[in-house]
Chains A and B, each alone.
Chain A
Amino acid sequence: MDFELSAEQAQIREEVLRLCARFDETYWLERDRDGAFPEDFYAAMAEGNWLGIAMPEEYGGAGLGVTEAAIMMQAVAESGACMSGASAIHINIFGLNPVVVHGTEEQKRRMLPPLIAGRDKACFGVTEPNAGLNTTEIAVRAEKRGDRYVVNGQKIWTSTAQEATKILLLARTTPKDQVKKKTGGLTLFYTDLDRSRAEVRRIPKMGRHAVDSNMVFFEDMEIPEENRIGAEGEGFRAILHGLNPERVLIAAEAIGIGRAALARAARYARERVVFGRPIGQNQGIQHPLARNWAELEAANLMTFKAAALYDAGKECGAEANAAKYLAAEAGFHSCEQAVMTHGGMGYAKEYHVERYFRESMIPRIAPVSPQLILSYLAERVLDLPKSY
């Protein structure tokens, strides 16, 4: 058992932190205020070839594992970029894994290099208003007409759809009442987001204003057959591959936010003097912060255990889910405590922790709720009856 980063991993963390230092707290505060996509941050990450960290080398990636991707994404979040930085590049990191696993050679050559180079921006259309965590309820219809599919319906919580040129879309090709298996009838596409046939409507939301979340309405949007990933009806299976890595990355990001908040809280507690002593000298202030550290670092161990299992080709469902649960809660607690430690100043935007606090809600909710994770663990690890 080895808990140390390898020299290469340590260097990845260092270089990402160095690069992110160019985009300081004021930069993210501004993006939070004006809601503009962090284009120059995105460009800098693309320029350093960071977007392809976990993508195969033959298509321009670095061919590294989820462990390295998690190290990178954690460093991005930890730099103070939080989810505004992480979500801006999140889909580039592992989003196109279904194409890597299920795409044809021609598709990989066509689809992967532009995304890795940052020329294409992609969004992920899965969730629907009436099919949240229950993916099999997906209703967006892709109807085969000759050599193309015609898409109608609505997706929701599609991140970065304002900027995206491409969409990874899960749609129903066989009506639900005609499928043999509940998970059947869904097909995956990676295609142009044709804005003449898809209306993208931004959802005003609590935080992460720089990275948009949207409703997307499709009206007869056409998809050429060559943009179908894998066989018709195999879409659900195709996206399953990416779920555990995504949980690991979200967990790593949540820990990054938590660490950023804790660092600010500890600094403020050391410097802020009330009644003639720094407030951090009071156990009422220091114990909660110490607990935050313990929670964050424990969650981090679970996260990197899950990453190591995945990279070793082993089953990691329980660990990846537990990591996402633990990390999201630890990150949130840390941000909450950071606001409380700052007192009134914690409520002011100038001190940044209120932004972290708002963004720390995202890993708790997405991509799966804590309740569903606990149900999963109860069922799969503890062998308890399925509750839903």
Chain B
Amino acid sequence: MKIIVPVKRVVDYNVKVRVKSDGTGVETAGVKMSMNPFDEIAVEEAVRLKEKGVATEIVAVSLGVAACQETIRTALAMGADRGILVETDVDLQPLAVAKLLKAIVAKEDPKLVILGKQAIDDDMNATGQMLAALLGWPQGTFASKVVIEGDALTVTREVDGGLETLAMTLPAIITTDLRLNEPRYASLPNIMKARKKPIETVKPADLGVDPAPRLTVVSVAEPPKRQAGQKVGSVAELVQKLRTEAKVI
């Protein structure tokens, strides 16, 4: 069974992001970039399925600028077998990514696509669902546990009231939640092996997809600065302030 794992290059989670001075987006020049943490979980899950003998091949796909190759290399170092880079300078939105992935799925014929539930840069939480809709495949989103037996896939999801378990048939889409697994560290030999694994580069036009954005970003602004709090001497004072100053009761 082949698994496709899309991996997104995002601003590293440790970086304190800054809004560009013209308000068009977030500053990425000279900023440390890494693989989206939810995608790391997706790669890890795929590698574990391969180690269990459930999967036979893992293809890591990244979409975006040429530097996304490095994100693919990280996935290869973790255990993916080969990579596909869909190279474009266009600012990709979830629908474009889903369409491009659909074209990759048509080409590669996987039984499973595992995606991060969302990317930590735009927090859209849309690509997996859109891809499932475009393909007409079942989806298990926000997975905290995945079990595959033959063509039967069981996905456990953490919902507000507890755990929800979904059963579906492959081929299917999974999106990963934080507690699905803990991604491994790439060992030095695997980093070196990853350098020799193939990465194929294609353009959106090769896949017959127009990736132009359908949404317009109107403005991007810093969140308001937090104001200093106040210390109160008694509960009575607190209640009085909530009533007269904060006007919340």
Report Cα–Cα, A129/B30, bound state, in Å. 50
Asked if A104 is at the interface (CB within 8 A of a chain B CB), the reply is no
Q: A7, A18, A44, A53: which contacts B188 (Cβ < 8 A)?
A: A53
| B70 contacts A62, C-beta separation under 8 Å | no
Interface residues of A in 51-87 (CB under 8 A from B): 52-53, 62, 64
Asked if B191 is at the interface (CB within 8 A of a chain A CB), the reply is yes
Asked if A243 is at the interface (CB within 8 A of a chain B CB), the reply is no
Report Cα–Cα, A114/B72, bound state, in Å. 33
Report Cα–Cα, A12/B77, bound state, in Å. 11
Interface residues of A in 1-39 (CB under 8 A from B): 7-8, 10-12, 14-15, 18-19
| B189 contacts A49, C-beta separation under 8 Å | yes
Q: How far is the CB of A283 from chain B (nearest CB, A)?
A: 24
How many positions in chain A have a CB within 8 Å of any CB in the partner chain? 18
Q: A15, A44, A52: which contacts B191 (Cβ < 8 A)?
A: A15
| B191 contacts A8, C-beta separation under 8 Å | yes
Asked if B186 is at the interface (CB within 8 A of a chain A CB), the reply is yes
Report Cα–Cα, A10/B186, bound state, in Å. 13
Residues from chain A with a CB closer than 8 A to the CB of B186 are 11, 15, 48
Report Cα–Cα, A202/B152, bound state, in Å. 61
| A62 contacts B77, C-beta separation under 8 Å | no
Asked if B74 is at the interface (CB within 8 A of a chain A CB), the reply is yes
With A7-B73, A8-B195, A11-B73 already in contact, the answer to whether A62 and B185 are too (CB < 8 A) is no
Q: A8, A14, A49, A64: which contacts B187 (Cβ < 8 A)?
A: A49
Residues from chain B with a CB closer than 8 A to the CB of A356 are none
Residues from chain B with a CB closer than 8 A to the CB of A19 are 185
User: A136-177 interface mask toward B, CB cutoff 8 Å, 1 = contact, 0 = none?
Assistant: 000000000000000000000000000000000000000000
Q: Would you call the interface of chain A mostly helix, strand, loop, or mixed?
A: helix
Residues from chain B with a CB closer than 8 A to the CB of A225 are none
Asked if A304 is at the interface (CB within 8 A of a chain B CB), the reply is no
Interface residues of B in 13-38 (CB under 8 A from A): 34
Asked if A50 is at the interface (CB within 8 A of a chain B CB), the reply is yes
Closest to A21 in B: B14
Residues from chain A with a CB closer than 8 A to the CB of B221 are none
Report Cα–Cα, A49/B187, bound state, in Å. 6
Q: B69, B70, B77: which contacts A15 (Cβ < 8 A)?
A: B77
Asked if A47 is at the interface (CB within 8 A of a chain B CB), the reply is yes
| A18 contacts B192, C-beta separation under 8 Å | no
Report Cα–Cα, A44/B191, bound state, in Å. 16
Interface size class of B (residues with CB under 8 A): 10 to 19
User: A285-314 interface mask toward B, CB cutoff 8 Å, 1 = contact, 0 = none?
Assistant: 000000000000000000000000000000
| B192 contacts A15, C-beta separation under 8 Å | no
Residues from chain A with a CB closer than 8 A to the CB of B188 are 12, 15, 48-50, 52-53, 62
| A62 contacts B192, C-beta separation under 8 Å | yes
Q: How far is the CB of A76 from chain B (nearest CB, A)?
A: 13
Interface residues of A in 110-134 (CB under 8 A from B): none
Interface residues of B in 33-71 (CB under 8 A from A): 34, 69-70
Q: A8, A15, A52: which contacts B185 (Cβ < 8 A)?
A: A15
Report Cα–Cα, A12/B191, bound state, in Å. 8
Q: How far is the CB of B30 from chain A (nearest CB, A)?
A: 13
Q: How far is the CB of A250 from chain B (nearest CB, A)?
A: 21
Q: How far is the CB of A57 from chain B (nearest CB, A)?
A: 9
Residues from chain B with a CB closer than 8 A to the CB of A7 are 69-70, 73
Residues from chain A with a CB closer than 8 A to the CB of B73 are 7, 11
Report Cα–Cα, A281/B186, bound state, in Å. 41
| B195 contacts A47, C-beta separation under 8 Å | no
Report Cα–Cα, A14/B69, bound state, in Å. 15
Q: How far is the CB of A113 from chain B (nearest CB, A)?
A: 14
Q: How far is the CB of B198 from chain A (nearest CB, A)?
A: 15
| A48 contacts B185, C-beta separation under 8 Å | yes
Q: How far is the CB of B102 from chain A (nearest CB, A)?
A: 30
Residues from chain A with a CB closer than 8 A to the CB of B77 are 11, 15
Q: How far is the CB of A52 from chain B (nearest CB, A)?
A: 8
Q: How far is the CB of A13 from chain B (nearest CB, A)?
A: 11
Residues from chain B with a CB closer than 8 A to the CB of A8 are 191-192, 195
Residues from chain B with a CB closer than 8 A to the CB of A47 are 187
Q: How far is the CB of A40 from chain B (nearest CB, A)?
A: 14
Closest to B188 in A: A49
Residues from chain A with a CB closer than 8 A to the CB of B34 are 14
Closest to A8 in B: B195
| B74 contacts A11, C-beta separation under 8 Å | yes
Hey, which bits of chain A sit against chain B, CB under 8 A? Answer: 7-8, 10-12, 14-15, 18-19, 44, 47-50, 52-53, 62, 64
If A14-B34, A19-B185 are given as contacts, then 6 extra A-B residue pairs at C-beta distance below 8 Å, sorted by A number, are A12-B191, A44-B185, A47-B187, A49-B189, A50-B187, A62-B188
Hey, which bits of chain B sit against chain A, CB under 8 A? Answer: 34, 69-70, 73-74, 77, 185-189, 191-192, 195
**22 A-B residue pairs with CB within 8 Å:** A7-B70, A8-B192, A10-B70, A11-B70, A11-B74, A11-B186, A11-B191, A12-B188, A14-B34, A15-B77, A15-B186, A15-B191, A44-B185, A47-B187, A48-B186, A48-B188, A49-B188, A49-B189, A50-B187, A50-B188, A62-B188, A64-B192
Instruction: Across the A-B interface, give the 8 residue pairs with the lowest CB-CB distance, nearest first.
Output: A48-B187, A49-B188, A19-B185, A49-B187, A49-B189, A15-B186, A62-B188, A50-B188
